[in-house]
Amino acid sequence: MMGYYKDPENTAEAITDDGWLCTGDIGYVDDEGFLYLTGRKKNLIILSNGENVAPEQIENMFTDEAIIEDILVFEENDTITAEIYPNFKYAEASDINQKLPTFKRILNYRMRRDPFEKTTSKKINRSNYFSQKKLEEEQRAKIVMPQNELQQKIYDSVAAVLGHQNFGITTDFYRAGMDSMGSVMLLTDLADNMDFSITLDDL
């Protein structure tokens, strides 16, 4: 409860006047009176067709799948999307997906090379993931792409050395992952492909 300490506004939202804690969980009670928790209210996905999807409910269906180490389900372009960190032996989850109602099916997925950041309770830190994703999108929107033939040639050479294109012509190459060996490789590549020589200072 440390998150509510000296925070009367959040405390009032989470704790009722008569002392009940609003956990933010969503679920249902079955015919026999058993309570099933299916997700968190703040994570609920509402599609444009009005269907509600609890991402945790889908994620939990993959818990016993040895082929999936971690899975994070979210909405992207009004479709259910999953980002998966597999065990790299096999990464197809089609069998489970086909059993889901059409509106819950994962239509897109991306593979990760690194595990998700976890909370102290070993759950994927969902809020940090989306904060980082938003930051990356904002940074990509600020990237200035090549505007002439020379800039494009240099850009292509840098991309070949870095192994990615997450940078622009105003990006500090070293912040984008360039190291001293990469600098040498880049200058060599530029010398082979340019009509003139270029030094590190020029670059």
Secondary structure of the chain: what % helix, strand, coil (to 5)?
Answer: 35, 20, 45
Residue ranges of the chain with per-residue pLDDT less than 70: 87-95, 196-200, 202-203
pLDDT of residue 72: 93
CB contact at 8 A, 23 and 41 = no
pLDDT of residue 93: 47
The H or E element containing residue 108 is strand 108-111
DSSP 8-state code for residue 27? E
Please answer whether residues 109 and 57 qualify as being in contact, where contact means their C-beta atoms are separated by less than 8 angstroms. Answer: no
Question: What is the rounded radius of gyration, in angstroms, for the C-alpha atoms of the chain?
Answer: 24
- Residue 115's φ and ψ, nearest 5 degrees, are -65, 155
The amino acid at residue 198 is I
Whether pTM > 0.75 for this model: the answer is no
Q: Are strands 108-111 and 79-86 parallel, antiparallel or unpaired?
A: parallel
* pLDDT attached to residue 145: 87
Question: Please, are residues 120 and 160 in contact by the beta-carbon 8 Å criterion?
Answer: no
Picking from 77, 73, 46, the residue whose alpha carbon sits closest to that of residue 61 is: 73
Closest CA to 188 of 178, 201, 197: 197
Give the model's pLDDT for residue 91.
Answer: 45
CB atoms within 10 A of CB 122: 6
Tens digit of each residue's pLDDT (9 = 90 or more) over 99-154: 888 888 887 777 777 888 989 888 899 889 889 888 878 877 888 888 888 888 88
